[in-house]
A and B are shown apart, each in its own frame.
Chain A
Amino acid sequence: MTTSTGTAPSPRALARQRRRASVARFWRQYRSERAGLYGLTALSLCALLALFAPVFVGSDVSSVTEAPGRPMQSPSAEFPLGTDQFGRDLLGLVIWGSRVSLLVGLLAAVLSVAIGTLIGVTAGHFKGWYATVMMRITDWFLVMPTLVLAIALATVMSRSLTTTVVAIGVTTWPTTARLVRAQTLAVETRPYIERAQALGGGHWHIMSRHVLPNVMPLVLAQTTLIISSAILAEATLAFLGLGDPTVVSWGGLLQDAREAGAVSAGDWWYLVPPGIAIAVVALAFTLCGRAVESVLNPRLGVSR
């Protein structure tokens, strides 16, 4: 398949051209999804803020010994969102916290989708007893309450970011696995797969060259959607006190607020900003995910 003929554009160049065209087509269609654009804008803003947080606020913002204010000050000109229990600037903390929340959300989603894709593709491809076993395992994870499982995992492992990523990643993959398996089954019935097999294509070749590219759009959409739930899950775990207490994250801020008694004291500025930040980012990812999904999934496209 990779033997290059001497004639005009090489297959490699052709493939590149085709990809460029499809990206352009994708973008054109995506642009027509207004909600998706809003989501993308919000996301880009958040990503920029997180990336340039060291410039805006600096890591000093999370220092307790050099906290600039008094504990639990309400919003003022100096501290637009007030201060936390150590007298740290909450605006700075919310911006700084976005780094961890986004990072953990992305990593956990990637891990979850990677596991899901691996199991989905292999189960769809190999069928037989292997598929049965894998799908039963998937079913088992599917019926287990995700949060409870994640809490159990986070409890037994030491408290760190890796733990949180793993706890979320290994508990949220079953839906992806199911979706990918269904798509794999559909792709494998196509005639060109049969042709490839007749020409001597092995399992690895079929899975990596023919099945994977075809399930990729689905995986992409699924990743975007899972990120939002991963961010929520990260915030939940941190809120429940299962995160690393020394790292500033949105969920961790909520947990700090709760422990400091901000809920019953009515110190809303400690609670509302991280909460809204979580909601906005999760919403933005969902909007993007839906938009990508409707662009890539032909069936959704027709119905609209």
Chain B
Amino acid sequence: MRHHSLLLLTTAITTGALTLSACGSRDDKGSDSDDGGKKTTVTIGLDAPLTGDLSALGQGIKNSAHLAITNANKNKEVPGVTFEFSPLDDQAQPTSGQQNTTKLAGDKNVVGIVGPLNSSVAQSMQQVAQANNVALISPANTTPDLTQGKDWKENNRKRQFSTYFRTATTDEVQGAFGGQYAYEHIKAKTVYVIDDQKTYGVGLAAAFSAKFTALGGKIVGTEHVNPEDRDFKAIVSKAKSTNPDLIFYGGEYPAAAPLSQQLKDGGLKAPLMGGDGMYSGDYITLNKKSAGDYATSVGKPVEQLDSAKKFIADYKAAGYKDRYEAYGGSTYDATWAIIQAVKAVVSENGGKLPTDARAKVVQALNKVSFDGVTGRVSFDQYGDTTNTMITAYQVDATAWKARHSAEYKR
């Protein structure tokens, strides 16, 4: 034998390390333009997966935030203050998210950050945002732990970070709504539950299961997959033998699409149900057998809201290449919340941006209240949105159709 084993070992280790290091940030656009003089310029940062599997959702987030900033500048929402936009790509990786936060926090002009999409990324960003006292508002994070701490299940809730807010409601609400919808509307009695082992997927599946069993439903099997997996046939065969009425997936559409297709190819008649991570147009394009599948998503469908009409029209007029997707409305609201907070801070300070603008913006966010795209926008004592509206959708041939919307009460 020559150095086979050594060679194999080195290759294995190197490639392993590579997966971590190959995901630095790519878009670098410095934005330090002071017109000098009267006009103050502040920057709103953004962190979302702009490339990779989840880029459909990420691009929608970026465009919607951009739209809010453009509107604020156009209408002179905050007199004397011009907003700039600094979007960064996290590729859904916690390490990249943290680097992006550090970078944005290092820029004195940044008054707040919109994002991220993934709860697992948020976990790595919260500390950095807190240490720099910069507001972080996610339009999409739904894991309860992020705001209420890990003991929320025992009703021992405690705010985790004073700088973290979100305009998306939690998995506790969304999962429970899903469980109730599955039992009462889909009339499922038995469910097979699958999650992708990520913060979001596990939390959502747990909340769903808790509510579904509390109502009298039965979980006939559970399974965990890796988020990068695309072959689920072995799991399909297992699920088939339990013959469930419904399959629930806690995870995102890149894996959910092939999972759903393989379930149906494997002879299961039961539909797949998931949360907002599955509620994307790409779920349907990637999955020829998506008809009949369900997903819940936060808020009312923006198409049905009077308050969203302007947003949709503006989004169309701006001519963005990608759809606004699941989080367009909540992103617009998150960005608008920062803009409103800056407005409050500036007007309190006699029309000028104070020197400790970041801290003031964080305080102002707790008091923010306005009618946004998704409804009334304000934050509770944990930093969560006070809007607990959830909607269940079903794939009807080629598009998601809203089936049922309701406010969910804890």
Do these two chains interact?
no
